[in-house]
């Protein structure tokens, strides 16, 4: 029984985005198509951006909400960008072209109420049969966890940024 799974990587520890990247890599290694959508705060992460170029035709990589500031002064602009990103993501899901769709750091859009929760969850649970969706980010809403088939909490037992060591290329981005 192979069925599409809704997977969530959440928690405050390191490894959520990289685990999603690793899954994309595995799927692509099997010749399966992946749509990887990042809902990031701030700039591009060149590490993954350059790496996925090696999987042309297998991993479609998109960055949404470039310049997202989240809890910014301009809440309307944030909400507009969130809707735009989500429209793109739901079209990717609905296309049925992908073995796996990754919504990286998507939880923030739900957590900060930039998108209405239940309609979003309806899209995720109503995805094409056999399609996997991976959602990453802190503060995953409880309802999302309830509906997910797989949930891993990446729990920060020790984190070097807490020790005053700065973020490094190839590690943090």
Q: Is 100 a catalytic residue?
A: no
Answer for which of 45, 64, 68, 86 binds a copy of itself (CB under 8 A) is 45
The reply to whether 143 sits near a copy of itself by the rule CB under 8 A is no
Q: How far apart are CA 11 and CA 137, in angstroms?
A: 7
Decide: 149 and 7 in contact? Cβ < 8 Å.
yes
The reply to whether 139 sits near a copy of itself by the rule CB under 8 A is no
Q: Is 74 a catalytic residue?
A: no
Answer for which of 84, 116, 125, 171 binds a copy of itself (CB under 8 A) is 171
Q: How far apart are CA 169 and CA 100, in angstroms?
A: 27
The pair phi, psi for residue 169, each rounded to 5°, is: -60, 140
Quick one: tokens of 155? 């729990």
The reply to whether 150 sits near a copy of itself by the rule CB under 8 A is yes
Answer for which of 35, 114, 133, 148 binds a copy of itself (CB under 8 A) is 148
The reply to whether 107 sits near a copy of itself by the rule CB under 8 A is no
How far, CA to CA in Å, does 144 sit from each of 56, 57, 120, 121, 151? 31, 30, 10, 7, 10
Q: Is 41 a catalytic residue?
A: no
Instruction: List CB contacts of 160: < 8 A, sequence separation 6 or more.
Output: none
Q: Using the structure block, give the residue that is written with the tokens 């042309």.
A: 56
The reply to whether 91 sits near a copy of itself by the rule CB under 8 A is no
Residues of this chain that interact with a copy of itself (CB under 8 A) are 1-3, 5, 7, 9, 11, 13-23, 25-32, 45-52, 54-55, 99-100, 132, 145, 148-160, 163-166, 168-171, 173
- Known catalytic residues are 12, 14, 16-18, 26, 68, 70, 105
């Amino acid at each position: 029984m192979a069925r599409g799974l809704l997977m969530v990587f959440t928690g405050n520890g390191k490894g959520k985005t990289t685990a999603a990247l690793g899954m994309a890599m595995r799927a692509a290694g099997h010749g399966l198509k992946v749509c990887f959508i990042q809902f990031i705060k701030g700039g591009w992460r060149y590490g993954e951006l350059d790496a996925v170029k090696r999987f042309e035709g297998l991993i479609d990589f998109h960055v949404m909400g470039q310049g997202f500031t989240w809890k910014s002064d301009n809440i309307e602009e944030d909400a507009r960008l969130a809707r735009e990103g989500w429209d793109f993501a739901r079209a990717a899901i609905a296309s049925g072209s992908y073995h796996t769709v990754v919504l990286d750091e998507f939880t923030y859009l739900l957590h900060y109420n930039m998108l209405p929760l239940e309609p979003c969850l309806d899209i995720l649970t109503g995805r094409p049969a056999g399609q996997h969706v991976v959602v990453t980010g802190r503060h995953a809403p409880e309802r999302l966890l309830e509906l997910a088939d797989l949930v891993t909490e990446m729990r920060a037992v020790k984190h070097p940024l807490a020790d005053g060591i700065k973020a490094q290329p190839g590690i943090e981005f």
